[in-house]
Structure 1
Amino acid sequence: MIEIKSEIVCRQSIKPSVPTPSHLKTFKLSLLDQISPPIHSNMNFFYPSDNPDFFHKSKLLQHSISTTLSLFYPLAGRLRDAATIDCNDEGAFFVEAKVNIQLSHFLSQPDLNLMDHFLPTTDPTTMELSNGAMFLVRFTSFTCGGVAICFSLTHKLADVSALHTLVQTWSSLCRGSSNPVTPLLIGENFLAPRDEFYAMSATVNIADEKFVQRRFVFSASKISELKAKVSHEFHEVLQSHPSRVEAVLALLWKCAVATKKQKMGSFGPTTLFQAVNLRKRLSPPLPETAIGNFIWPIMVFAYEEKDLELHEVVIQMRKCLNEFNNTKANMFRGEGAASAIMGAIKERGEFFRSNKEMNVYKCSSWCKVPLYDIDFGWGKPLWVVSVNKLVSNTFALADTQSRDGIEALVTLDEEEMALFQQNEQLLKYATPNPSIYAFCNSNYNCRM
């Protein structure tokens, strides 16, 4: 068990480099943003040492945040209600900190329980002083000169693609680029918010559950084995091949449900929510630089244990995705879009009220999002991770640094996780919490 002592060196607000014009002082969110939870998502980058000048790097980060806020001007404001941002230029919040260990020590035994030492949102004083900031950054130095850049961003204005666009712009400005990626701030022009939701609270109640998060890594060779196990049946039905994500997710869900059965003594019906990026599925499509929540969940069901045979799961996943692409994606366009979305939300709510015994799992995938290309001017990261401290029964998938493996962060009830991480079928394909250096690209200099 690694012991870390962390110390916050300073805290400060960062204003936009250019004040927001008066005609942009109020930003109306889209309906999809409006119904998104007002929580903060986080993204954490760990960089090896290239030079020890931490404070020079900090000044570059602060300056580039200021410039970035002028392009992403709503992020410098504050939530007024569930669908409105007051673009008052109060700014982002920046924290400098240091820890008493070397980066290699931490990455050799990555402990998700220690991530509180790097996240800006886990420090009560920071949260009080930040006064509702929607963008918070904590920049941490290790004793070896390595650094961690960890930021939290409001989910009200950003899904995974939007997070990536933000960090692309921010990092390129930090490197001195004069031609950064420009965001498309579409807001209500995509889909106007609904009046009946304006009274929604700008806070969220998180159930007081005892859950834990664990990391499992699937190497390229193990993913190939897993895909080979289901490819024949998949190809017979769909004349194509399962993806890496489908194969890994099917195994994770199957093992999580087996764990639930172990705990409860019997199998219960279950559903898996998968977040789908709408941008490329709309007609006409939206660019990936569109800022907001352009995601929608698709659901796969298993009413009996036989429905969770791996080949059955991957086939159903693809069928559900194909059905969504062919028949449902365009409900987000046109005059009837808002009514269609409200109807879908109501229908989903009624279904779960009538099926309270249904065990629900949720998945998000960051695979193929090129997060390991993010360079602030001192090289590419050794590890990129987003930790979940809010919701149980989740699977978060991301590429490994070598790009050919998958890192899965699984969040379960404490008792169920104790059983899950001993599941023999899971351990046949997944390595529990290996060293970050074990999955570095052989062409990449993984400096210790």
Structure 2
Amino acid sequence: MKFEVVSREFIKPHHSTPPSLRDYTLSLVDELLPTMNLPTIIYYATDNHSSISRCEHLKRSLSKILTRYYPYAGRYIKESFMVDCSDQGAEFVEAVVDVSLDDFISQTKNAKMELLNCLLPHPIDAGDEVTDPLLAVQVTAFACGGWAIGVLASHRIADMSTSSTFIDEWAINANQLLEGMDENDEYPMSPRWTSASLFPGKKLSGLPRGLPRVKEDSDDHKIVTKVFSFNKSSILRIREMARLDKSSERLPTRVQSVFGIIGKAIMDIQVANHASSKEFLVSQTVNMREKTDPPIHKNQCGNLFLVSTAHIVAGKRGVEFQSIVNLLTQSVRSEVENCKTILSVGGQVIITDGFDRLTRTLANLDSSSNLVFSDWCKFPFYEADFGLGKPVWISGINSPLGNNVYLFSDKFGEGIEAWVNLNANDMHKFQQDSNIMEFCT
């Protein structure tokens, strides 16, 4: 399989950013995050618009949408904890690969997840330097006429909710251009870049990650990524099994139940490796938007989440599944309750205390005891139609972050794809776990 980069350029906003918006200050949550980019790859089948230059169409619509997402066209200035929004531009890369889209997806799902990383313009940790773009896009054409858009958005100024909103609005704008609509027509969304007014920054250092700035494959970082699919009926069975009170009609959520079945398998492996009981810290992000009082709008940009943590002790025989699901559920509910008061006077303390607890706990645990779960099921990536058809698949990458699990909805919105990142030895055992074998397709 041969990848080739055809071109690289920087796309600037269609309209210059006003001087009053040139300095974008980070919020408190922005400051506390590690240096990394959030990756999303969106795949499309062959389109029927042969008369349209796909990349030129995407560049033009990207330029227009950057007018509204102007920090993405800026550069981060570490010393001042702010973004210089002087329209330096978002990076746009064109690439080609000499296999069909179906063959590529088949190879990655079956054995070679590291191939996914070739669809991104940079490694996920290439950030925070003044030369690093805060948004980088790679459009890759497959031999069959299918194509993929790989989006890297800097976690310094955006969480996955912001990235999803951006992709959604970019697609809407691209559709409008194909339909000949005027650029000044009304947009259905209005991004808000005012998070620092809600949670002013304090010029604090972020969490360390220690990720490489150069591209690696799985042989370098020893982390294996695999996708495990849970269909609708399997998820219902897992939820039934997770219910603590069998007399209650209320079931645990789909997400916490799937996280529970995966978490149990990982913890049982780790305890077996150590032949003794072991303490685990499981962290999940909780989106603040629409949960605060008054509600933060769903299109508020930036990093707007809290980190829930659950301490779980697994005995020599492993850990009870229902107990894991219950602890994960309670930890998330606790942070949802915190969201209700976070806009009050003491809101910043809730944020800093949560990150401080996480940092202190991680310092006292070995890396195999830290599990990170992320739920991206509600983001409408499969609706991202740039005027050339809806996606046929959404993917992450072969991540260098071990003990990391994130969830996407499947194409039909009923199932869940779990992206599990483990070291090679643990992944082999994980695939042989009885629950994983029973419930995954």
TM-score normalised by the chain length of structure 2 = 0.88
Q: Structure 1: which amino acid aligns with 2:119?
A: F
Aligned mate of 1:104, from 85, 99, 102: 102
SS, match of residue 170 in structure 1: helix
Residue aligning to 1:437: none
The number of equivalent residue pairs is: 420
Note the 1:416-427 alignment, pairs <5 A: 416-427=426-437
Residue aligning to 1:393: 403
Q: Contact conserved, 1:169 with 1:182, CA < 8 A, in 2? A: no
| Whole-Å separation in 1 of the counterparts to 2:357 and 2:376 | 28
Residue aligning to 1:205: 210
| Whole-Å separation in 1 of the counterparts to 2:377 and 2:17 | 35
**Aligned-pair distance for 1:357?**
8.6
Residue aligning to 1:116: 117
1:20 lines up with 2:32 in the alignment: no
Residue aligning to 1:214: 226
Q: Contact conserved, 1:396 with 1:409, CA < 8 A, in 2? A: yes
Residue aligning to 2:197: 189
Q: Contact conserved, 2:27 with 2:201, CA < 8 A, in 1? A: yes
SS, match of residue 184 in structure 1: coil
Residue aligning to 1:227: 239
Change (3 A) 1:137 1:202: farther
Unaligned runs of 5+ in 1: 432-448
Q: Structure 1: which amino acid aligns with 2:27?
A: S
CA root-mean-square deviation: 2.7
TM-score normalised by the chain length of structure 1 = 0.87
Q: Contact conserved, 1:186 with 1:291, CA < 8 A, in 2? A: yes
Note the 1:321-340 alignment, pairs <5 A: 321-326=332-337, 328-340=338-350
Worse-matched range after superposition: 174-183 or 56-65:
174-183
Q: Structure 1: which amino acid aligns with 2:320?
A: E
Change (3 A) 1:202 1:94: farther
Query: What does the per-residue CA deviation read over 1:276-319, in whole Å, with 9 as the maximum and x for residues that have no partner?
Result: 11112211111111101111111122213388322222222222
Q: Contact conserved, 1:269 with 1:358, CA < 8 A, in 2? A: no
**Aligned-pair distance for 1:221?**
1.5
SS, match of residue 397 in structure 1: strand
Residue aligning to 1:435: none
1:310 lines up with 2:321 in the alignment: yes
Q: Structure 2: which amino acid aligns with 1:183?
A: P
Q: Contact conserved, 1:30 with 1:83, CA < 8 A, in 2? A: no
| Whole-Å separation in 2 of the counterparts to 1:348 and 1:274 | 11
Worse-matched range after superposition: 282-291 or 387-396:
387-396
Q: Contact conserved, 1:234 with 1:241, CA < 8 A, in 2? A: no
Query: What does the per-residue CA deviation read over 1:315-357, in whole Å, with 9 as the maximum and x for residues that have no partner?
Result: 222222333333x224521222223432333344334445569
SS, match of residue 426 in structure 1: helix
| Whole-Å separation in 1 of the counterparts to 2:290 and 2:71 | 24
**Aligned-pair distance for 1:239?**
6.3
Residue aligning to 2:144: 144
SS, match of residue 246 in structure 1: helix
Query: What does the per-residue CA deviation read over 1:389-431, in whole Å, with 9 as the maximum and x for residues that have no partner?
Result: 2311111111111211110000112221122122222111113
**Aligned-pair distance for 1:235?**
5.6
**Aligned-pair distance for 1:211?**
1.3
| Whole-Å separation in 1 of the counterparts to 2:240 and 2:208 | 45
| Whole-Å separation in 1 of the counterparts to 2:94 and 2:190 | 27
SS, match of residue 148 in structure 2: strand
Q: Contact conserved, 1:16 with 1:67, CA < 8 A, in 2? A: yes
Unaligned runs of 5+ in 2: 213-219
